[in-house]
Structure 1
Amino acid sequence: MKRWREVLGIPINLEPKHFPCDDAAASRLVIAAKLQGKNAHRLSLELGRAVWEREETLADPTTISLAAQRAGLDAAELRAGAPSDAELDGLHEKFTQEALSAGVFGAPSYVLPSGEIFWGQDRLDLLERALKKLVS
């Protein structure tokens, strides 16, 4: 991560003050965004930046709300249109089991329809190449 921080010129904290933390509310919001057809990926990136760049905790509702705002989303609206916490937690478990069944073992991981897995950000160039082959 130190090398990527230098190569990409981004302020990654190698040992974030608030990691790990209770990220259940943040995970629920990402799933709610996905269910509502909103940009869950961008929300995930902003939540990650909160932890790894901004030294914030995902256990704080204000941190989550501000991350959503930076992603162009409204956390309160997402939650209002979302299923219950229990249902969101069930979906989280379902998605986790699907990832494990597909062979995912770390983040980031990308699984192509063929089942081929690309793991780690140092493989993103290879993933991009594989995706271009799929669409050509």
Structure 2
Amino acid sequence: MPEIICYFSPQSGYAYLGHGRLREIARAAGADILWRPVDILKVFAEGGSTAPAKQSPQRNAYRKQDIVRWAKVRGISINTEPKFWPTDTLPACRLIAAAQLEGIDPADLIGACLSAVWARDIQISERDNLVRLANEVGLDGEKLATLSDSVEAADKIARNTAAAIEAGVFGSPTYVVNGEMYFGQDRLLFVAAALGVAQERVAQEHLS
């Protein structure tokens, strides 16, 4: 079965924009997604990247325009100035890791965390909010939150982060298919092509 490795931060706006499309591609290709939440600040530091919130006013102005265009393409809502971004992502990363330790596919939980930041103005660094988000997608939020405090969950994030740095990852989201790395959700067209999946349509109405 084909595999897609996805290195991501649960507060990444572009991971949010690409989340649904990535899952569509995986379903169409019969591929497994190997979700790898990372400590994005360490990835930025090792990769020589600047966190989006600290980039120049010009780049941030363009980023806001860009995410609105992509939200139209994907048919989802997005807040260009989310109330709780940037934030401490390690609690959410560890919650996702806890789900994985329980053998749970974390895709819905990841989507809930991403949309919490970019569509719902929910603080994902707070335990009670994470419990609620997990419950909303049918998981046992209290159990996962407790497990997220474990050494095993923290170690999983540390290993993911080290693997990302070793692979040359410098931002979120980054996808790896057949050993090839694709940075950014706009490169999902290459992920789709690598897996023989048809491309999505971008229309004129998406541009304004």
Q: TM-score, normalised by structure 2?
A: 0.57
Give matches, 1:21-100, under 5 Å: 21-80=87-146, 82=147, 84-100=149-165
Deviation of 1:95 after TM superposition, in Å, equals 0.6
Q: Identity of counterpart residues, as a percentage?
A: 37
Give 1:122's aligned residue.
186
Structure 2 CA distance, aligned partners of 1:107 and 1:31?
17
Structure 1: runs of 5 or more not aligned: none
Is the Cα contact below 8 Å between 1:17 and 1:55 reproduced in 2?
Answer: yes
Structure 1 CA distance, aligned partners of 2:149 and 2:195?
35
Aligned length: 131
Is the Cα contact below 8 Å between 1:30 and 1:43 reproduced in 2?
Answer: yes
Residue 87 of structure 2 is aligned to residue 10 of structure 1: no
Question: Equivalent residue of 2:161, what SS?
Answer: helix
Task: Note the aligned Cα RMSD (angstroms).
Answer: 2.0
Q: TM-score, normalised by structure 1?
A: 0.83
Structure 1 CA distance, aligned partners of 2:72 and 2:104?
32
Structure 1 range deviating more: 66-75 or 31-40: 66-75
Bigger fraction of residues in strand: 2
Structure 2 CA distance, aligned partners of 1:59 and 1:84?
13
Greater relative contact order (Cα < 8 A, sep 6+): 2
Is the Cα contact below 8 Å between 1:43 and 1:67 reproduced in 2?
Answer: yes
Give 2:5's aligned residue.
none
Structure 2 CA distance, aligned partners of 1:41 and 1:8?
17
- Runs of 4+ aligned structure 1 residues displaced above 6 Å come to none
